[in-house]
Amino acid sequence: MSTKYIFFTGGVVSSVGKGVTAAAAGLLLKERGFKVAVQKLDPYINVDPGTMSPYQHGEVFVLDDGAETDLDLGHYERFIDIRLSRVSNFTTGQVYAEVIAKERRGDYLGGTIQVIPHITNEIKRRIGLVAKETGAEIVLVEIGGTVGDIESQPFMEALRQMRNEVGRENVYFVHVTWLPYIGATGELKTKPTQHSVAALRSIGISPNMIIARSDHPVNDDLGDKIALFCDVEKRAVIPMVTTPTLYEVPLLLEQAGVGDFLIEKLGLKATRKPDWKPWQRLVDKVKSPKPAVKIALVGKYVELQDAYMSVREALRHAALSIGVEADIQWIHSADLEKGKSWDALKAADGVIVPGGFGSRGIEGKILAAKYAREEKVPYLGLCLGMQLMCIDFARNVLGYEDANSTEFDRSTEHPVIDLMIEQRAITDMGGTMRLGLYPCVLQKGSVAAKAYAEKQVDERHRHRFEFNNAYREEFERNGMVFSGISPDGKLVEISEVADHPFMVGTQFHPEFLSRPHRPHPLFVGLMKAAAKRAGVK
C-alpha cells in the first residue's frame, strides 16, 4: 500500500492549535488500527530551535535520539503515545544547509541551484524519509506558520508537487483557521478564512477539510457559508471551539466524524474500532472538581507558559493520576531576588525549578531550593533545577559560600557544577550539548528508586554542565544521596536530600516522557508529597 499523507496548513493567525489538531487527528487514526507518524516542518532559517530563546519559540522538545525540536512534537508524543525521531522535524535551515553542502561537494556540477527544484526536492526527500524510517501507513505533516508567509512558500510548493507525485488519492489537505469574534455585533466572521483559502489556492493547493477554530460556538449557517465560499464539502467543515482541556480535542474531532471521514477519503478501512473510554475518563477527571494543590514553578520565562509546556503537562498528568488539581503558581525567579513573590512561594505545597540557561534569575532559583530544603517543602529540580539544588547545598550545608556552577562564575573556588570534559573543547553552540536518551542506574531504597519501582531507567537529556565528582563524597557525608548514576559511575543523574519528604533533582528532563495515561513517576512523587503537605491526600 502506498503511504498516505495528511498535510496540515494554518490560516489567518498562528497559535490556534494546529499542532494539537494534528496530534489529535493522529490519535483518531491510530485508534482505527493504523500505524501513524507525524512530522513538523518549520519554515524558519535556524537549523533547529536549540539555539532559540524560549521567548521566541517556547520550549525545545528533546527526542530519544537527541534531536532538539519544536514543542508540537511534544503534543504528538503525548496524544498519540509514540516516540518520535529526528526525521520528524526539519527547518528551512536544515534544507538549505544540505543543498549548499551538496553544491560545494560538486554534486550538482554545472547546475544553477534554485528553490524549484533543488530546495523543493530536498523538502520532499525529507518528508519521504518519515515513512521509510518508521514504516508508517499514514504520515501527518504539519507546516509551521500561516499560509502567505514568505518563508513557507517553498514548503507549500513542495506539497503541491507531492500531490501529483504520490497520487492525489494519497494526499489530503487540512486547513486550520480561526474565526474572529466581533464583540460589537456578537458574531463570528468567516472572511479571514476565505482569504486564507484564497491564498492557499493561489499556490495551487485546495484544502479538502477546514477546521474552523473559535472561542465561541459556531452555528450551522456559518459552516454552510465556509463550505460554499471555500469550496469544501459541508461534512469537511469542522468547527472546533476552544476547550478547557486540550485532551478533549480528540473526542471532539471524533464526535465531528473526522476519523471516519479521513479514512474514507484516503480510501482506507479501519482494522479496529476506536476505544475512547480512557480518554473520556481522563477528560471527566479533568472536569470534575478536585482539591487544588499549589505548585510553585520558579523559572525565568514564566511570562510565556509555552516555554515550560512539557513541565506543565507532566504536572497535570501526575496531579490527575492522584485525583488532585495542580494549581501552578508561576513565579519569576528574579522577583525572589528582589524580595518579591515570596508570599506565592510560601503558599505553595510543592516547588519545581525547571531547566534553563544563563545567569539571569539564578540566585532566585537557589533561594527557592534553599527554602524548599529548609522548610521541607516537596521539591523537584529539572536539570538546572538539580544543579542549583546542589549549589544551595554546597553553600548552605557545607558552608562554601561562593559555591557555583562554572556556567555562572568561572572563577569560583568551589565549582560544584562544572563543564563536562567532553564539552570543554566545543565552540559551536548548536546541537552540541549532551542530548537525548541515556541510562541511569537507581540506588536501591532511594526516593527515586521507590518512585520509579525500577532498577534502571532511560531518560532524555539536554545539558553541558554536570555535578563535579570531586565533591561527591563530601556531599554524601552531609546528607545528599546520589540516587541515580550513569552505568559507568561517572555522571550524577539524580540527587536527593536525605531526611526530606521529597527533594529530588534530575540532570535529565523527565517531563519529556510523561504521558496523559502514564504520568512520570517523579512528577507523581512530587504531587503525592505536595498533596500530603496540603492535607488533601
Catalytic residue numbers read 383, 509, 511
H or E segment and range at residue 97: helix 92-105
Per the DSSP assignment, residues forming a β-bridge with 481 are 496
Closer by beta carbon to ligand GLN, 198 or else 420: 420
**Per CB under 6 A, which region of 157-165, 271-279, 349-357, 467-475 contacts ligand GLN?**
349-357
Please state, as a whole number, how many other Cβ atoms lie within 10 Å of the Cβ of residue 135: 10
x/- track of binding to ligand GLN for residues 371-390 (CB under 6 A): ------------xx------
Closest CA to 434 of 379, 501, 486: 486
Closest CA to 32 of 72, 4, 71: 4
Closer by beta carbon to ligand GLN, 263 or else 297: 297
Closer by beta carbon to ligand GLN, 49 or else 355: 355
Cell 532559540 belongs to 52
Among 207, 356, 361, 505, binds ligand GLN (CB under 6 A): 356
Closer by beta carbon to ligand GLN, 146 or else 507: 507
Binding flag, residue 286, ligand GLN (CB under 6 A): no
Closer by beta carbon to ligand GLN, 384 or else 440: 384
Binding flag, residue 276, ligand GLN (CB under 6 A): no
Q: What is the largest CA-CA distance in the chain?
A: 74
Is the preceding omega at residue 207 within 30 degrees of 0, hence cis? no
Please state, as a whole number, how many other Cβ atoms lie within 10 Å of the Cβ of residue 220: 10
**E runs forming strands in 356-399:** 379-382
**Per CB under 6 A, which region of 35-43, 115-123, 267-275, 459-467 contacts ligand GLN?**
459-467
* d(C-alpha 477, C-alpha 495), whole Å: 13
Q: Which of residues 26-85 bind ligand GLN (CB under 6 A)?
A: none
Binding flag, residue 462, ligand GLN (CB under 6 A): yes
* d(C-alpha 353, C-alpha 514), whole Å: 17
Task: In angstroms, give the least distance from the CB of 43 to ligand GLN.
Answer: 26
Q: Which of residues 104-163 bind ligand GLN (CB under 6 A)?
A: none
**Per CB under 6 A, which region of 32-40, 184-192, 460-468, 482-490 contacts ligand GLN?**
460-468
Task: In angstroms, give the least distance from the CB of 469 to ligand GLN.
Answer: 15
Among 66, 355, 364, 484, binds ligand GLN (CB under 6 A): 355
Task: In angstroms, give the least distance from the CB of 468 to ligand GLN.
Answer: 12
Among 76, 90, 178, 465, binds ligand GLN (CB under 6 A): 465
How many angstroms separate the Cα of 473 from the Cα of each of 147, 397, 398, 405, 479? 58, 14, 12, 18, 10
Task: In angstroms, give the least distance from the CB of 420 to ligand GLN.
Answer: 8
Cβ contacts of 344 within 8 Å, gap of 6 or more: 296, 329, 331
H or E segment and range at residue 61: strand 61-62
How many angstroms separate the Cα of 17 from the Cα of each of 13, 213, 216, 486? 10, 8, 15, 38
Cell 514504516 belongs to 135
Task: In angstroms, give the least distance from the CB of 82 to ligand GLN.
Answer: 23
Q: Contact at 8 Å (CB) between 205 and 173?
A: yes
Closer by beta carbon to ligand GLN, 193 or else 310: 310
Classify residue 363 by burial, with Cβ atoms within 10 Å: 0-12, 13-18, 19+: middle
Among 344, 357, 396, 409, binds ligand GLN (CB under 6 A): 357
Q: Total residues contacting ligand GLN (rule CB under 6 A)?
A: 10
Binding flag, residue 531, ligand GLN (CB under 6 A): no
Among 248, 349, 407, 496, binds ligand GLN (CB under 6 A): 407
* d(C-alpha 251, C-alpha 248), whole Å: 5
Distance between start and end Cα atoms, the chain: 52
Closer by beta carbon to ligand GLN, 462 or else 533: 462
**Per CB under 6 A, which region of 113-121, 161-169, 344-352, 456-464 contacts ligand GLN?**
456-464
Binding flag, residue 463, ligand GLN (CB under 6 A): yes
Interface positions with ligand GLN (CB under 6 A): 355-357, 383-384, 407, 462-465
